[in-house]
A and B are shown apart, each in its own frame.
Chain A
Amino acid sequence: MSQKKPEKLIDENDIRYDGRKLNEMRPIKIEVGVLGNADGSAYIEQGKNRILAAVYGPREIHPKHQALPDRAALRCRYHMAPFSVQERKSPAPSRRELEISKVMREALEPSVFTEYYPRTAIDLFVEVLQADGGTRCAGITVASLALADAGIPMRDLVSACAAGKAEGRLVLDLNDLEDKSSDGADMPVAYMPNLNAITLLQMDGMLTNEEFEQVLNMGVEGCKQISQLQRDALRAKYVAAKEAAGEKEEEPEEADE
């Protein structure tokens, strides 16, 4: 469904058209353990973005020649649903999706102890059900939780957030309209807060040196905020599981004969 384009994205009081301040993130809702079949899964809503991630593995690798002798092969597929965007997107993977799959894998691999599972595959699927700018970042955030939910040993959670520029002003967590605005820039950052390590950095648009530094700091600060939400979501799953286990003592399985 089409959205109306406002005349100005940022008003004279530094309020963005969706009501946010310049350094304010969109509302985020995260759930862990949402899919029955996957070994690990998570779901995120960030503004209008709606993204599911699932992990299968470590499992046997096919085709065999992709096996790595010293570590697991982390394989990542970022994909958008045909109905996730304004104009229907063909379900065949686009060049953009292939590139994002690659940078996403490289953003997450540093966090995983792949050396514990040589010759296996860890398959990570990220499905964008609805897109509104910043899906690669939200995708990394949710994928990292799915890996944790699968019980895969990790050095840290990876959190991702974009910062950039819209109509000449520096802003955090750009949505689709802001991303496409004039005199803009978009810089996705992925970050492991406990290790203080950036695992993904991309940029398009135009930034001065000074702006670049500010935007990078904004991005990292955004990642730190997201990291806290990730931890809360992960904890919430185990609290819920513990409560459910406490309630039901007996097995509901019907006795045989």
Chain B
Amino acid sequence: MSSVMAAKVKAKRVAQLIARGKRLDGRGLNDYREIQIESGLIERAEGSARVRLGKTEVLVGVKIEMGEPFTDTPNEGVLTVNAELVPLASPTFEAGPPDENSIELARVVDRGIRESKTIPTDDLVIEPGKKVFVVFVDVYVLNHDGNLIDASALAALAALLNTKMFNYEVKEGEVKIKPGYKPLPLRDYPIAVTFAKINDQLIVDPWLEEEQAMDARLTMAIEKDGKICAMQKGGYGTFTTQQIIEASKIAQQKATELRALVVKE
């Protein structure tokens, strides 16, 4: 139960350290916290993974169901990303309909997957304009210690890599599910890299106390060939163009490191 004053003192301490190139938890400015990835914990889900990023903990479950395509994309399956800031994850989370933080989290994760065309939506059509597969990616935050975006995007990718698609055949307009599963083929492996700006200095993977001290936040989603497929700036502060270019270079390097932890090729 930290008071407003205590939070200010902590923020000042975080900023002072960063000015000297140090961080409260001893990391370098461009270091991630320790990452642990476990796949396939939820048998009920078609795919699942849990990521621990330091003390931040996110579980993602993927469900695949049949549904209708959007009218403007009759020849494509549907991707839906949803995020729940479950109240057991933090004293500041409350039960209830999604607030702006969980909506932003879901949409940033969604954008990385969607814009990199990771999901082969054209392969998920059963009957054009009528019946397609819907891929639900549900992000479940279990412990909030900062940088939910990167942890969630990583868990989403790990869960999609672990996702099994059922075999089916279409007979006279009826879909018959056949026994057995095959992996959901993915076309890309997007990785989100998030920066915080504190004292005019960029750091990667801010943890909670750094998030509380940051002026602004910047996330970049990087495709496997190094292209940037999504970006999101958050917070009240600003960035210079140099800072953003610097960030994109670091992001590409970090994305390669993180990708190697999930994608075993």
Contact = CB atoms under 8 A, between A and B. Distances in A.
Check if A and B associate: yes
Interface of A: 1-2, 35-38, 41, 48, 50, 52-54, 56, 59, 77, 79, 81-88, 91-93, 123, 125, 127, 129-132, 254
Contacts of A125: 86-88, 95
A60 B91 CA distance: 11
A2 B64 CA distance: 11
Contacts of A131: 44
Given A88-B136, A131-B44, 10 more contacts: A37-B143, A41-B88, A77-B87, A82-B136, A83-B42, A83-B62, A83-B136, A91-B84, A125-B88, A130-B42
Report the contact-size class of chain B (Cβ under 8 Å from the partner).
35 or more
A81 B88 contact: no
B89 interface: yes
Nearest to B13: A256
Contacts of B45: 1, 83, 130
A82 B90 CA distance: 20
Contacts of A127: 86, 88, 140, 142
Contacts of A56: 87, 91
Given A41-B88, A125-B87, A125-B88, A87 B65 contact: yes
B82 interface: yes
B86 A79 contact: yes
Which of A37, A85, A129 has the most chain B CB atoms inside 10 A of its CB? A37
Contacts of A79: 86, 95
Interface in B75-96: 82, 84, 86-91, 95
B145 interface: yes
B39 interface: no
Contacts of B46: 1
A88 B140 CA distance: 14
B91 A36 contact: no
Nearest to B20: A257
Contacts of A83: 42, 44-45, 48, 61-63, 136, 138, 140
Contacts of B26: 254
A37 B145 contact: yes
Contacts of A85: 44
A82 B63 contact: yes
Contacts of B97: 92
B1 interface: yes
Interface in B8-53: 26, 41-46, 48
Nearest to B91: A56
B209 to A, nearest CB: 13
A58 B194 CA distance: 35
A88 B63 contact: yes
A129 B50 CA distance: 12
A9 B16 CA distance: 65
Contacts of A53: 88
Contacts of A93: 95
B177 to A, nearest CB: 8
B259 interface: no
B197 interface: no
B144 interface: yes
B117 interface: no
Given A1-B46, A37-B90, A83-B63, A129 B140 contact: yes
Interface in B106-154: 136, 138, 140, 142-145
Given A36-B143, A81-B138, A254-B26, A86 B44 contact: yes
A54 B91 CA distance: 10
